[in-house]
Structure 1
């Protein structure tokens, strides 16, 4: 049995997927594929978002490894820290794959293989058992099933970060969402998903996002209404809401014309935001607003390139000698948090 010191801080129940890409013309005919298959999946990106801040031994995600698992992908994953990945081998089936199809600004998504969904029961008896924070991406109905499994584990009361799956963010799912919200610590859809569930016009303004936050809070999030809503709103930033507290906006790290030029691909940005949020909760002793700064910075590293960010080790001079430090895409995550803090303090003073 593991000791309390071995407990993982964060585990995502999201999947690992190998993403394939197809581009089609105005008539829907495929054009030349320009991107090779890449590492994908909401669980993968959430884990990397948290890994930017925490060591591999404090994180976890299950990866179902099929008989076609590419060796080069294994190497990429291990470079982030092999201890964060819990591999389950399936010699009789393929690794989960999905196709992302692009036609102009429109994006389609479809699974090419059957899915193996991950639930809290899959963590039992593994080194990922009973983490302090869990993250899941699913329909409201499946979120209820996940919480039922959590309650099967005696004396386990994790912080729950729920990310509604996009294709189930429709008005018909709102009753099921209301049923599970009292078990959810943090609800975090993006703005379009939040509006769609509430049958609101899909026009993203700060006023509309704030109205959506208030409506979700009125439904009662968390035990006795103590939970939070964080609506991720792209270039506008993220709105953080809790009953009885003023709504707070955290600006996107890459904002304005100069920032927009740094955004290459937003795939996985929302997942990594929530992984960064979980890590921020650990580092800030549960301060959700401060944790959102870490979340925002995690997303900033994801959008700078196609695929996952680059991790490197660098030497830092210290009074007691040189030390090794991690950089992501050649930059320090902590430096970005401090820069974001200064920016928010400045803009607050000018309002």
Structure 2
């Protein structure tokens, strides 16, 4: 594959163990596919469809313990993943303990292998991608962007940059570093609790509180993308969906896929929902040439698919019918989401852009 990617994630691939308290009655799960890069690629793959699947760029470092069933499943997506054999090491593995109120404790069980711009230099299609998903500290995001600017071809457009701050660093002492990054971004997308923590505030509970927090970032989001639709913050609000606020006048809420309007509402495990949202949002944004509304729809639908089970969704590509995730086509999911929530968009035009 040599053509330019639509989407490239700088996040990692991880194999997870998932555990619950002894009194929960829930069983532990092993060899669960995870990692921010993986979930970002999932969101992108959901929206890209089969015709663009090879334009999804990410790196999978395959240790000497890599499960064959995991490899078979991921290869069924037919993305542009770079598979790197690292037989001298174990695959990056994580341990997750879930408690009440979506509490999550996490630690690495094996050494992590971070993705850097140097890793992209060997793969022109990744290096010159149309968009990048960053999950890192403010300082590292600046280093990545500087390296990308130096290494990319001069005849390709500037990429769409979407940054997800590392949750542990969303603290008041890091606020100024965060704000200093924003002029270089197209999209800032923390979840609401993380965004509030930058200002020493509790998680917002009303739409007004969400909007107030988002507004505090907006003056620093001064960049304009190649699509000339501005830059903005997409505040991820879990079951409430997302709030989009841009420097060109967009201020709008988009409901979560699994809300009360959905007759098939089924949320099993929220793990990876945020990363999957970002992959879907970014890919929708690029494919629609900067349409924030279409991107938000894509993000919410992608996240909805990610949280319908523990780990990855069931995937099938049916000849003549396209992709099915957990038994439902992306066409039907988009049509239903728009109808259930009364969103004023032309579904036919959205599908024409994406499918």
Q: Residue 250 of structure 1 aligns with which residue?
A: 254
Unmatched 5+ stretches in structure 1:
316-322
Offset, 1:244 = 4.3
Retained in 1: the 8 A contact 2:12–2:35? yes
Q: Residue 116 of structure 2 aligns with which residue?
A: 119
- For the structure 1 residues 222 and 113, does the alpha-carbon distance in structure 2 shift closer, same or farther, using more than 3 Å as the test? farther
Q: Write out per-residue CA displacement over residues 298-337 of structure 1, whole angstroms, 9 at most, x where no aligned residue.
A: 111111111111111335xxxxxxx242111111112222
- For the structure 1 residues 345 and 140, does the alpha-carbon distance in structure 2 shift closer, same or farther, using more than 3 Å as the test? same
Q: Residue 91 of structure 2 aligns with which residue?
A: 95
Shift >4 Å, 4+ stretches: 30-33, 257-261
Q: Residue 319 of structure 1 aligns with which residue?
A: none
- For the structure 1 residues 61 and 191, does the alpha-carbon distance in structure 2 shift closer, same or farther, using more than 3 Å as the test? same
Identify the match of residue 310 of structure 1 among 305, 314, 317. Answer: 314
Measure the CA separation in 2 of the matches of 1:162 and 1:289: 19
Structure index of larger Rg: 1
Measure the CA separation in 2 of the matches of 1:246 and 1:228: 9
Retained in 2: the 8 A contact 1:192–1:204? no
Offset, 1:285 = 2.0
Identify the match of residue 44 of structure 2 among 44, 50, 72. Answer: 50
- For the structure 1 residues 271 and 221, does the alpha-carbon distance in structure 2 shift closer, same or farther, using more than 3 Å as the test? farther
Identify the match of residue 144 of structure 1 among 127, 130, 142. Answer: 142
Larger displacement relative to structure 2 (283-292 or 36-45): 283-292
TM-score (norm 2): 0.87
Retained in 2: the 8 A contact 1:50–1:272? yes
Q: Does 1:8 align with 2:9?
A: no
Unmatched 5+ stretches in structure 2:
346-355
* Backbone CA RMSD of aligned residues: 2.4
Larger displacement relative to structure 2 (332-341 or 172-181): 332-341
Q: Residue 203 of structure 2 aligns with which residue?
A: 202
Measure the CA separation in 1 of the matches of 2:300 and 2:35: 19
Q: Does 1:233 align with 2:237?
A: yes
Offset, 1:171 = 1.2
Identify the match of residue 131 of structure 2 among 130, 133, 157. Answer: 133
Show the 5 A alignment for 1:325-336. 325-336=322-333
Larger displacement relative to structure 2 (298-307 or 281-290): 281-290
Larger displacement relative to structure 2 (125-134 or 11-20): 125-134
Q: Does 1:104 align with 2:100?
A: yes
Offset, 1:128 = 2.2
Show the 5 A alignment for 1:51-90. 51-54=45-48, 55-81=52-78, 83-90=79-86
Larger displacement relative to structure 2 (254-263 or 146-155): 254-263
- For the structure 1 residues 257 and 232, does the alpha-carbon distance in structure 2 shift closer, same or farther, using more than 3 Å as the test? same
